[in-house]
Amino acid sequence: MKPYPLFADLSRRAVLVVGGGAVAERKAAALLAAGAQVTVGAPELTPQLQRWARQGRIAHRAGEFAPGWLDYVWLVVAATGDRTLNTRVAELAGLQRVFVNVVDDAELSSFQVPAVIDRAPLVVAISSGGAAPMLARLVRERLESLLDHSLGPLASLAARLRKRIRRRHPDLAARRRFYEQLFNGPVAALLRSGQPAQAAEAAELALRAAPVAAGGSVVLVGAGPGDPGLLTLRGLRALNEADVILHDRLVSAEVLELARRDAERIEVGKQAGNHHATQDEIHALLLEHARAGRRVVRLKGGDPFVFGRGGEELEFLRERGIPYEVVPGVTAALACAAHAGVPLTHRDHAQSVRFVTAHCRDSLDTLDWRALAQERQTLAVYMGVAGLDQLRERLLAHGRAAGTPFALVENGTRTNQRVVTGTLANLPERAAAHAVRSPALLILGEVAALANDLAWFGAPPLGEPRTTVRPLRPAQPERETTVPQRRRA
């Protein structure tokens, strides 16, 4: 079960550590740093714990653990190395509704001690829920190099100015913009260069400056095919700056989880047969929120300029004077092919690739089928699950070989990715047999055969069933066939 993240204020609150060894010493040190009133209960203490006891920094309960030690404490840490004793401490703490951490025993613990990155007052905690503490420490080590030590002084400065900032910028959107300028502008740069006095002066100047009314804007962001790791850094920044996010139905929940928590999310997925009406509604929403001074992110699956109608939306915004920006995304053809182990071009098989959309009969009628049926090229067909029979029929009619391989990638790059392979001759039947559903991308061409050998992500491809051929039994010598007859005679 996922633990609930919680930062506890232990200042001047009683905390009990059961155990007097090296592990208990480390736990006591961290609790003292948090301002807790620490009592260590154990028959014997390490030299450091003894010094702290003599100095009055901790209290010492000598002897074996007793239930009365749990009275009036907020937290308990069991660090004895004796699981029987740790179990007893955990059970009694639970009866008294006191949170307990048993060192290296997630099963007995009601709270976990995370790996910590300290940029006080900014603190970053990483927890695996007790399942993999070493992994949490590895993540902490990686983040340590990314988080500059000036973040602590920056957080302290923001805390000192917080009430004045709220009075100066009562509007939430304006206040957010001020903080972004404070955290990303000259003030942060001065702190990074070790000039705290100059940084404080720059913050005062920024606070006294007249607020500038910010107009709304729109950023078209490509969300990629689903894997949040494929979202660009610029796309991530836009999601964290957005006031409103208009997202397609197929944008993955994992990508949306990366957005700012208080941003308004509006799903604007198109429904089959009603694309035009829905696009008009999207235009109206973009205009409404941008004119209200909000920063709008139009979040599209894949790339906004590859069958994403991004061009239409930019034309609409430009005609109305709305500022806009485009953040490209990894389009589905590139990502799905890569995750299926299919190179879209290959010097032995395909010297070109065509991106095609085939989601309805009208789009099928506009395609150059003679050109699409040529050999030694790859077709990447978007939104084509419903029209696979018509696609096969027209390609075969224009000369594409029935044995041309295909790879149909469902939920590409996601944990539930499936790849169905076969040939053009049985494409619709193979898709129907495996109940392939949208989102799915069709890769058709000689390179698609490589999916069966080069697949590396997710489950192995679902290839065509092989027919088992039974070998013929060799003819028996004459004498063997006549022996039974002689015996029956």
CA distance 225 to 220: 15
Residue 348 buriedness (CB in 10 A; 0-12 / 13-18 / 19+): exposed
For residue 434, CA distances in Å to 312, 427, 428, 429 come to: 36, 11, 10, 9
CA distance 456 to 337: 11
Q: Would you name the residues annotated as active-site residues? A: 248, 270
H/E run at residue 420: strand 418-423
374, 398 Cβ separation under 8 angstroms: no
**Nearest 5°: phi and psi at 217?**
-155, 165
Long-range contacts of 277-286 (CB under 8 A, 24+ apart): 279/309, 279/312, 282/246, 282/313, 283/313, 283/316, 285/246, 286/218, 286/246, 286/313, 286/316, 286/317, 286/322
CA distance 181 to 355: 41
